[in-house]
């Protein structure tokens, strides 16, 4: 018996029925002291151990108990630690706990969460005949949050010309030491290496740049995608501080260490600030994704001889998940074909005067 477990006997002595009832029915006075992960670990211990699954508790004073008892203990986090159990055994229990809370959150927020069709696995001749098959439970995809996607995709209409940052976002991303840790911009290349790889750089007093225009454009787009990602990382620091603060306030309320009304208001303030920071983080991630799409488009367009004006139209076309350029290429081709048809029609019905055909001097005198 260790940590938060207030029972007078160990989990092995209490038996499988108690472990199951403590997980499903809230009739155990000791249950509130332990986390869901601990309760799942108790039940999983019996399912995977070789101890007999009797219906009653095992006598603590039975002979040979000290030599045959399964040694178990609980860590500070409440997880069951058994030397014969792999570390991956806690993953299904963590997923169950996550799924349990997410299910209630989906119901509270009234989100759509369609079920996924599970493909039936064909039976194999290598399947077990007698032993229970060991397989991880199928994990259901977590719900899609449309409101968050709206923030992420807010800059996807113009991925090439979208700004890398905004004034309001800097309120949450302006973290002390962020630039020193590399959050501000892409690290610059060392001047000695740049001078070696591109000798023309050594003749200039400016910052090292790539020698050709297409590569310089690619480097600028890469830097444009790096900056919003660094801003999102800085904003995560603010979110982490606020969420940790909320967790401590909730802990104090649960333990009765603080007054309720004041901390409830403080919790609501911290929660709203966290939601604001989440919005700006999502927008920064979306800007980074948009810049990466523009970079990929630019790399493909370097294989063409398009003029810069037409290239900018394709680079700034709205993002589409089904294709890199979406309908932009088709629109440009259709516009070119329509322009060609109009030019042919004008030439037939409204021919232009040729450059060599000028008026005679006699006509000019008149």
pLDDT tens string 90-105: 677 788 888 899 999 9
Residues β-bridged to residue 323: 320
Tens-place pLDDT, residues 324-366: 998 888 877 787 778 778 887 777 777 777 765 555 555 555 5
The predicted structure's pLDDT at residue 226? 95
Please give the biggest Cα pair distance in the chain.
134
The predicted structure's pLDDT at residue 56? 43
The predicted structure's pLDDT at residue 8? 61
Instruction: Give Cα separations from 214 to 59, 130, 198, 208, 312 (angstroms).
Output: 79, 65, 15, 15, 13
The predicted structure's pLDDT at residue 207? 79
Model pTM above 0.75 = no
The predicted structure's pLDDT at residue 58? 43
Instruction: Give Cα separations from 196 to 189, 200, 202, 218 (angstroms).
Output: 12, 9, 8, 21
In which residue ranges of the chain is pLDDT below 70? 1-16, 18-19, 22-37, 40, 42-90, 134-137, 166-169, 202-203, 355-366
Alpha helices by DSSP H, listed for 164-212, are: 170-173, 191-197, 199-202
The predicted structure's pLDDT at residue 289? 96
The predicted structure's pLDDT at residue 79? 45
Instruction: Give Cα separations from 174 to 109, 162, 177, 229, 275 (angstroms).
Output: 31, 20, 9, 13, 17
The predicted structure's pLDDT at residue 5? 61
Q: Is 172 exposed, middle or buried (0-12, 13-18, 19+ CB in 10 A)?
A: buried
Other CB atoms closer than 10 Å to residue 232's CB: what's the count?
23
CA dihedral 61, 64, 65, 70 (to 10 degrees): -170
The predicted structure's pLDDT at residue 103? 92
DSSP 156: T
Residues 6+ apart with CB under 8 A from 80: 38, 41, 42, 44, 45, 72, 73, 74, 90
Domain boundaries, the chain: 1-58+72-111, 147-347
Given this structure, which CATH class describes domain 147-347? mainly alpha
The predicted structure's pLDDT at residue 46? 61
């Amino acid at each position: 018996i260790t940590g938060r477990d207030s029972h007078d006997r160990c989990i092995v002595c209490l038996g499988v029925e108690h472990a199951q009832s403590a997980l499903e029915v809230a009739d155990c006075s000791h249950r509130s002291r332990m986390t869901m992960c601990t309760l799942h670990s108790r039940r999983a211990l019996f399912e995977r151990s070789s101890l007999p699954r009797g219906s009653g508790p095992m006598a603590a004073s039975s002979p040979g108990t000290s030599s045959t008892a399964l040694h178990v203990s609980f860590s500070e986090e409440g997880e069951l630690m058994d030397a014969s159990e792999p570390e991956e055994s806690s993953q299904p229990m963590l997923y169950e706990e996550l799924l349990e809370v997410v299910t209630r959150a989906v119901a509270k927020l009234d989100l759509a969460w369609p079920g996924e069709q599970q493909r039936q696995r064909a039976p194999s001749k290598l399947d077990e005949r007698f032993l229970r098959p060991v397989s991880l439970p199928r994990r259901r995809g977590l719900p899609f949050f449309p409101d968050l996607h709206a923030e992420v995709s807010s800059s996807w209409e113009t991925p090439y010309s979208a700004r890398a940052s905004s004034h309001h976002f800097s309120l949450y991303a302006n973290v002390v030491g962020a630039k020193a840790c590399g959050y501000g911009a892409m690290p610059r290349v060392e001047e000695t290496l740049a001078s070696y790889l591109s000798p023309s750089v050594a003749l200039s007093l400016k910052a090292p740049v790539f020698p050709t225009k297409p590569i310089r454009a690619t480097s600028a787009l890469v830097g444009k995608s790096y900056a919003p990602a660094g801003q999102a990382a800085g904003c995560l620091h603010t979110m982490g501080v606020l969420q940790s603060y909320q967790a401590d306030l909730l802990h104090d309320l649960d333990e009765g260490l603080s007054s309720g009304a004041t901390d409830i208001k403080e919790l609501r303030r911290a929660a709203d600030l966290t939601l604001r920071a989440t919005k700006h983080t999502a927008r920064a991630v979306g800007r980074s994704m948009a810049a990466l799409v523009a970079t990929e488009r630019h790399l493909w367009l370097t294989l063409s001889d398009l003029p810069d004006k037409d290239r900018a139209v394709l680079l700034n076309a709205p993002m589409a998940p089904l294709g890199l350029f979406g309908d932009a290429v088709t629109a440009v081709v259709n516009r070119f074909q329509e322009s060609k048809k109009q030019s042919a029609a004008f030439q037939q019905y409204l021919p232009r005067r040729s450059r060599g055909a000028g008026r005679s001097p006699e006509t000019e005198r008149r």
